[in-house]
Amino acid sequence: MPVNLLDFDLPQLTDFLASIGEKPFRARQLMRWVHHFGESDFACMTDLAKSLRARLEHEAVVGGPKLLSESTAADGTRKWLLDVGAGNGIETVFIPETGRGTLCVSSQVGCALECAFCATGRQGFNRNLSVAEIIGQLWWANRALGRDAHSDPATGDRIITNVVMMGMGEPLTNFDNVVTALRIMLNDYAYGLSRRRVTVSTSGIVPNIDRLREECPVALAVSLHAPNDALRDRLVPINRKWPLAQLLAACRRYVEAIPYEDGQDQASPSGVKWKRLGAPRDFVTFEYVMLAGVNDQPQHARELLAIADEVPCKFNLIPFNPFPHSGFERSQPEIVRRFQQTLLDAGVVTTVRRTRGDDIDGACGQLAGRVNDRTRRRERHEVEVRA
């Protein structure tokens, strides 16, 4: 069985090439061909020896995702439905803005966490995505947006400047594959993105927030959605396992701790040796979906101020994106504005996320892909899943 080179970060690619008698610099060349140039045909990799190309033809593939469908929204947002086999699809969304382009990447087929307001959670969980399937979304989007992955032919600028792990799934419950994919995103021979421009969004898997800080610190977004445990238990059920006090403590650690300098004697708990990387950001972004009458009242905003006192943070208020039978409604713009103002008046940086791509169901929480649900539920929700 040939290996899929999209599964490998640079050290793994180096090991693979060593196993067929090749030197480490070949791994850097190959990484560049595969990711930087988006090349999948070994015959085109002209600076590799002919014998190596022939060997790779037999032993390896660059197995990117297959496209099931694509759509473009009126605002230029693009969405690709990619085939991950067994009748399952995952969705990847590209959001162009002035001066930046953000790719929203999925980490799982479905999601097990069942947040009350999320279409992905309603579908149940099927499986984790492999490294190739995660990084394959960036690989695919780069090719789809212009073959030379990194730049707009007219301006020479990068097309995809930011990646957010905010598509389908909970990235921190697919930890190892997500971290390997993140390393490929950051690698200079591959995509060369800075840690500040790659964001992992989590609903609050506390132990893995700490592991992320140790193993691959990138910008962190936390789906807060409620200012107290009683409400958060209802909206984000994982809160019953790791309640707010634990979550906020992990957030503080994330922004405070700077990974260890190589050779210093602070040992990271997992024994990883670090070069001094610097915390990628000195704040956590709290995402807060605005649900009419549920978490959007003035007292909720005031409760959030206490949280903002504890954790260096910014707030991003997300207008709720409806889906069939969700049982929730979007807060009125005036309510959102007042909520934002309460936070701003107390000096807390607070933005309201512009809804993008909702006419193609590409907005936050609307990504449903196609999922053959393998979870058994006590209670089966009535949901319309788009085929």
Contacted by 287, from ligand SAH, ligand SF4, none: CB < 5 to 8 Å by type: ligand SAH
**Residue with smaller CB distance to ligand SAH, 30 or 317:** 317
Which sign, positive or negative, has the C-alpha torsion 143, 148, 150, 156?
A: negative
369 lies in the binding site for ligand SF4 (CB under 6 A): no
How much helix, strand and coil, in percent to the nearest 5, is found in the chain? 35, 20, 45
- From the list 115, 134, 159, 220, which residue makes contact with ligand SF4 (rule: CB under 6 A)? 115
DSSP line for 293-337: TTT-SHHHHHHHHHHHHHS-EEEEEEE----TT----BPPHHHHH
Q: Among the options 91, 170, 215, 287, which is catalytic?
A: 91
- Residue 320 binds which entry of ligand SF4, ligand SAH, none, CB below 5-8 Å type-dependent: ligand SAH
5: left (phi over 0), alpha (psi -120 to 50) or beta: alpha
DSSP 63-102: -PPEEEEEEE-TTS-EEEEEE-STT-EEEEEEEEETTEEE
- Of these partners, ligand SAH, ligand SF4, none, which one is at the site of residue 166 (CB under 5 to 8 Å by kind)? ligand SAH
Total residues interacting with ligand SF4, rule: CB under 6 A: 11
Q: Is 120 in the site for ligand SF4 (CB under 6 A)?
A: yes
Nearest to 216 by CA among 181, 169, 245: 181
Q: Which stretch binds ligand SF4 (CB under 6 A): 58-66, 108-116, 141-149, 181-189?
A: 108-116
Q: Is 220 in the site for ligand SF4 (CB under 6 A)?
A: no
Query: Contact region for ligand SF4 (CB under 6 A) — 76-84, 113-121, 270-278, 298-306?
Result: 113-121
CA atoms of 337 and 333, how far apart (whole Å)? 6
Which one of ligand SAH, ligand SF4, none interacts with residue 210, CB within 5 to 8 A by kind?
Answer: none
Query: Binding pattern to ligand SF4, positions 38-77, x when CB under 6 A?
Result: ----------------------------------------
Looking at residue 32, the DSSP 8-state letter turns out to be: I
Token output for 220: 């962190």
Residue 170 near ligand SF4 by CB under 6 A: yes
Catalytic site residue 310?
no
Instruction: Tell me, yes or no, if 364 is annotated catalytic.
Output: yes
Q: Which does 355 bind (CB under 5 to 8 A by kind): ligand SF4, ligand SAH, none?
A: none
Query: Among positive and negative, which fits the CA dihedral 215, 220, 225, 226?
Result: positive
Task: List Cβ neighbours of 80 (8 Å cut-off, separation of 6 or more).
Answer: 67, 69, 70, 91, 92, 93, 137, 140, 141, 144
Catalytic residue IDs = 91, 364
Where on the chain is the footprint of ligand SF4 (CB under 6 A)?
A: 111, 113-115, 118, 120-121, 169-170, 203, 223
